[in-house]
Amino acid sequence: MEGNMRLLIMVLIFNSLLFNQLFAQMVPRPSIPFKVPENKLDYSNTQNWYAYGKTNSLEKFIPSDLSELNQEIKKASVFYVHPTTYWGADWNPKKKSIPQERVKNLLIINQAAAFSACCQVFAPHYRQANLYSFWDIQGDGGKALRVAYQDIKDAFEEFIKINGDNPFILAGHSQGTALLRSLILEFENKKNFRDKLIAAYLVGFNIKEDQFKNIQSCESTNDTGCYISWNTTMENTKPLFSDDGLACHNPLSWGDGKKITPFDNSNGSMPFGSYLYSNLIEEKNRQLIKVSGSTECKSGNLFILNSTLKEFPDRQMNLHSYDYAIFFKSILVNALARVSEFHK
């Protein structure tokens, strides 16, 4: 684990300047020096999971017009890791201060629920690193990320026990993807891991085209045992990540990301306020919308072309908050396709 975390820290150091600098100035540095948290989480306790298969099913959050796609018998599971939602006084939040409602009401529902048609969803609580950690990788921020990774590794090992022989999808966003990247680097040499992996949706972070030795990039809609990654941004805006060799998959086509693909091929977007600033749209109002424009992968980023995306309030900056929401139904349908292909 230490070797892979060192690799993660090195990559984060290299890419720390890629985060939006204006946003960096808005993030307060934790006021308390780093201390290893004492509140280690026991993942055999279902209270330490936002979603725990049938126990906390997310099916009710699938918009009504997608209900016909819901598989009654789940043939797979998904291990989902949420993005950063904490920027308080500590480097890792104390258990009582974890912003659980923000995670549950925005991220679990608007991101993880996209996999609830195909899969039993498992989403652990974890002592996430403070958002500021990404600007202090060599110091206390790096230590905070190690705490977060150890939690995710512990949760995943418990998930493997629970899941038995079922195949699984890995899904994350932002910090969640950064931690899943380290998890894959640690586990990819294990045949049992590779044999059960349907796909890894590594969204909202800098994933390289040659990131892994044994897990390849998905090349088509139905590929399995591979990974998918994208970072969404409006045209004529500065991307969140801009280093060379970034993987970019287009969730409207799941094929050649460099080909311009119109939203005509999209199956619907889920509008909601940014998870950093806004509250959840009420469950009863969860309706998919159609958006205009097109998409194209350029320089490792997924650009939205010729579209206002007026339904997404933070669109003037970048679309990091909406990496899942803009392509909600497309992700849902694609996950179903990959699960079906895996079982052939």
Tokens coding 2? 């230490």
225-269 per-position pLDDT tens digit: 999 999 999 888 888 887 789 999 999 999 766 789 999 877 788
pTM above 0.75, yes or no: yes
107-135 per-position pLDDT tens digit: 777 899 899 889 999 999 999 988 888 88
Which residue, 241, 333, 328, 256, is CA-closest to 295?
Answer: 256
For the chain, give every domain's residue range: 2-342
Beta strand ranges found along 90-248 (DSSP E): 119-124, 168-173, 197-203, 216-217, 226-228, 232-234
153-183 per-position pLDDT tens digit: 999 999 999 999 999 999 999 999 999 999 9
